[in-house]
Amino acid sequence: MPQSLPDPVLILDFGSQLTQNIARRIRELEIYSEILPHTVSIGDIRAKKPRALILSGGPSSVFEKGAPAVDPEIFNLGVPVLGICYGMQLMAHVLGGKVVSAEVREYGVTPITIEADASSLWKVFSPASAVLMSHGDTILKLPSGFRKTGHTRSTPIAAMEDVKKRLYGVQFHPEVTQTLQGVPFLKNFLLEIANISPNWTLTGYIDRQIAEISRTVGKDHLICALSGGIDSTVTALLCHLALGDRFQAVFVDNGLMRSGEARQIIVDLTHLKLPLLHVNAEKTFLDRLKGIRDPERKRKVIGKTFIDVFWEEALHLPVRPRYLAQGTLYPDVIESVSHKGPSSVIKSHHNVGGLPKKNPFLLVEPLKDLFKDEVRRLGKELGLPETFIRKQPFPGPGLAIRIIGSVTPERLRIVQEADRIVREELDHSPYAATLWQYFAVLLPIQSVGVMGDQRTYENVIAIRTVSSQDGMTADVGEIPYPALAHLSHRIIAEVRGVNRVVYDISAKPPSTIEWE
């Protein structure tokens, strides 16, 4: 962690799905925030010099045995504390109040009434402001020194404060858009109560990172694997700015990219003047994938092949690099420090992160403090074209995980051609802006058709269009039926070997976005 980051607003995580939202909302207010597990020691909290503390929500009940707790000393640090949902209940519980299981659980958007004697923190709420509630427990008795500042129809104590000690609690979730005054409320807390002046800008971040990379790498050389995605490209741009000709980018072309994409990546990156080594490894990848049908095996083989090819190139450069840059983002860091530990493996994701145990390089991770939307903004400041920044996410294992069953050159051609048509039709359509991803999947079955007067027995393509905020959950990104019918018509007419197109109408969860 570079020393030069601003003192943070610290968010202690009690296992809520929404903890990341809190950090993002705060950063959008240009205030630096960090998430730590609730188990962090009071010494470590002090060492961070937090400007305010926020206690997140969580799925537990404070009165359960083994429920996530917190060192009561955090309420004596002299910095303002805001407890959200479980965080509020924990604050009440630790400070001598009483929390019980609610008679009426409250889930959904509800009007809140702010009490007449509440402090100015609550002034952002109008008489019937809507807030998002999601709780089964409730506060029955306030700790001493506190007063109630809001109630809803089902929850008598929906907000509380101890103005003298600057301790505040909300049963609702200010970090979600459904709470219409949520962001103004957080802003009021941070600016008025915690006296923070916003100073978190990405321009400052670029300068700090360039200085930090130069300092870390010194006179050595650094290598970076480029995938053509935004994270690795922004990482490379920062490292290049810091190190000049002691930087080398390597693009391992696995042959599993979308039609024309590898060429476009090279054009874009050359345009950015990045020193680029293009390694065409399609044959190696396809050879090693021969006969493999199991999705996890496929992912593992691709990950391993990537490392082998990359290593081979890296270790034979004229000057052996000592450092390797990776586009690790803040959510990956949070995941690894979360009190729950890394979530169970649903799919083993392939990126440079799959480093072998005997990694000969020292790591540089200049984006590890940032969220994806911050990386996009950084990319823009560094001169990446809008088309590059708005690219659909593309999985590391490429089209191999959209070819269900074995990967052969012929099946790769089919999915590439179908995918090209999907993109041609949707890229410039009015729906593109509402979609997170849209693509074609080749299924491992054949079906009977009739073309001209001939019976055919050919492949089936599935079309997937999803909307999502962050890829963690997704809905079917609906597109009108005539557009779908047109897609189907074009794919069957233009892609040799396909006689049927189906449409995937599954949300995530329970399905995932990719099919493998």
Catalytic residues: 85, 173, 175
Q: With respect to ligand XMP, which residue has the nearer C-beta, 208 or 349?
A: 349
| Alpha carbons 214 and 37: distance in angstroms, whole number | 31
Q: With respect to ligand XMP, which residue has the nearer C-beta, 70 or 352?
A: 352
Query: Which residues, numbered 76-105, are part of the site for ligand XMP (CB under 6 A)?
Result: none
Of 181, 259, 351, 416, the one binding ligand XMP by CB under 6 A? 351
Of 119, 126, 280, 512, the one binding ligand XMP by CB under 6 A? 512
Of 38, 166, 187, 350, the one binding ligand XMP by CB under 6 A? 350
| Alpha carbons 160 and 83: distance in angstroms, whole number | 10
* 395: contact with ligand XMP by CB under 6 A: yes
Of 248, 266, 270, the closest CA to residue 318 belongs to 248
In whole angstroms, how close is the CB of 398 to ligand XMP at the nearest point?
9
Stretch of 88-96, 308-316, 349-357, 379-387 lying at the interface with ligand XMP (CB under 6 A): 349-357
* 280: contact with ligand XMP by CB under 6 A: no
Q: With respect to ligand XMP, which residue has the nearer C-beta, 345 or 450?
A: 345
| Alpha carbons 503 and 441: distance in angstroms, whole number | 10
In whole angstroms, how close is the CB of 480 to ligand XMP at the nearest point?
23
Q: Which x/- pattern, by CB under 6 A, does the window 409-448 give for ligand XMP?
A: ----------------------------x-----------
Question: What's the burial of 298, exposed, middle or buried (CB within 10 Å: 0-12/13-18/19+)?
Answer: buried
Q: How many residues does the chain have?
A: 516
In order of 4, 464, 503, the CA distances from 510 in angstroms are 42, 15, 17
In whole angstroms, how close is the CB of 42 to ligand XMP at the nearest point?
37
In whole angstroms, how close is the CB of 261 to ligand XMP at the nearest point?
14
Stretch of 202-210, 378-386, 494-502, 505-513 lying at the interface with ligand XMP (CB under 6 A): 505-513
Q: With respect to ligand XMP, which residue has the nearer C-beta, 104 or 346?
A: 346
| Alpha carbons 305 and 283: distance in angstroms, whole number | 11
Question: Is residue 263 within 8 Å of 217, Cβ to Cβ?
Answer: no
Residue at token pair 């010494």 = 43
Stretch of 12-20, 244-252, 344-352, 449-457 lying at the interface with ligand XMP (CB under 6 A): 344-352
Query: Which residues, numbered 464-493, are part of the site for ligand XMP (CB under 6 A)?
Result: 471
Distant-in-sequence, close-in-space partners of 35: CB < 8 Å, separation ≥ 6: 10, 11, 12, 13, 19, 20, 22, 23, 56, 334, 337
Q: With respect to ligand XMP, which residue has the nearer C-beta, 21 or 328?
A: 328
| Alpha carbons 286 and 400: distance in angstroms, whole number | 9
Q: What are the DSSP calls for 223-259, one per residue? A: EEEE-SSHHHHHHHHHHHHHHGGGEEEEEEE-S-SPT
Cα three-residue angle 11-17-23, rounded to 5 degrees: 35
Q: With respect to ligand XMP, which residue has the nearer C-beta, 198 or 471?
A: 471
Of 57, 397, 398, 477, the one binding ligand XMP by CB under 6 A? 397
SS3 of residue 165 by DSSP: coil
Of 366, 396, 398, 477, the one binding ligand XMP by CB under 6 A? 396
Q: What are the DSSP calls for 405-447, one per residue? A: S---HHHHHHHHHHHHHHHHHHTTSTTGGG-SEEEEEEEEEEE
Cα three-residue angle 172-59-340, rounded to 5 degrees: 125
Q: With respect to ligand XMP, which residue has the nearer C-beta, 58 or 228?
A: 228
Amino acid at 175: E
Stretch of 143-151, 173-181, 346-354, 378-386 lying at the interface with ligand XMP (CB under 6 A): 346-354
Structure tokens at 100: 């019980």
* 449: contact with ligand XMP by CB under 6 A: no
Q: With respect to ligand XMP, which residue has the nearer C-beta, 150 or 397?
A: 397
Of 238, 352, 404, 513, the one binding ligand XMP by CB under 6 A? 513
Alpha helices of 17-137 — where are they, by DSSP H? 19-28, 42-47, 86-94
Q: With respect to ligand XMP, which residue has the nearer C-beta, 155 or 351?
A: 351
Residue at token pair 């990956």 = 332
In whole angstroms, how close is the CB of 500 to ligand XMP at the nearest point?
23
| Alpha carbons 11 and 390: distance in angstroms, whole number | 30
CA 477 from chain center: how many Å?
19
Stretch of 288-296, 328-336, 426-434, 506-514 lying at the interface with ligand XMP (CB under 6 A): 506-514
Stretch of 12-20, 142-150, 260-268, 347-355 lying at the interface with ligand XMP (CB under 6 A): 347-355
Residues forming the site for ligand XMP (CB under 6 A): 347, 349-351, 393, 395-397, 437, 471, 508, 512-514
